[in-house]
Amino acid sequence: MSPKKRILVVDDEPDHCALVRRILEKAGYEVDVAYDGRECLQKVCDQPPDAILLDVIMPETDGYTVCKTLKADQRFGHIPIIILTAEPAPQLATRFSHHQRVHTDADDYLPKPASAEQITRSVRNLLDRQPPA
């Protein structure tokens, strides 16, 4: 039996972290949380997750900076990052979409509030794209 995939949920709203944690744990994932960008970067360095759900608007270090930092680092650039934010979709361009206004190296985008199905489908799809370790 393979170990559970570990997902890092990053959001400065504890209630939103708790909700997303419940959704992902119910789907069979192990979940860790971080409440700002700095904490996220530290947790990724300490124990890289299999995927990250990342809010954009946070204190300390915003999600765009976190995403750019991780994708530029050879050790962590392969980790799928899903932007999960209240920022409007037309503002973001991800690796698999092509909006023109704001570019991010994130792998996917989900608007808040996202349904449990949308969250689990995005995570599953991105993890399925990953080559086996």
Where in the chain are the domains? 6-129
Mean pLDDT, all residues of the chain = 87
pTM of the predicted structure, to 2 decimals: 0.86
- In this prediction, residue 34 carries a pLDDT of 97
Structure tokens at 45: 């360095």
Measure Cα distances from 92 to 1, 64, 81, 112 in Å: 38, 10, 13, 14
Q: What is the DSSP letter of 62?
A: -
DSSP-derived secondary structure for 4-43? PPEEEEE-S-HHHHHHHHHHHHHTT-EEEEESSHHHHHHH
Q: What is the DSSP letter of 115?
A: P
CATH topology of domain 6-129: Rossmann fold (3.40.50)
pLDDT for residue 48 is more than 70:
yes
pLDDT in tens, 51-83: 999 999 898 888 989 999 999 999 999 999 999
pLDDT for residue 24 is more than 60:
yes
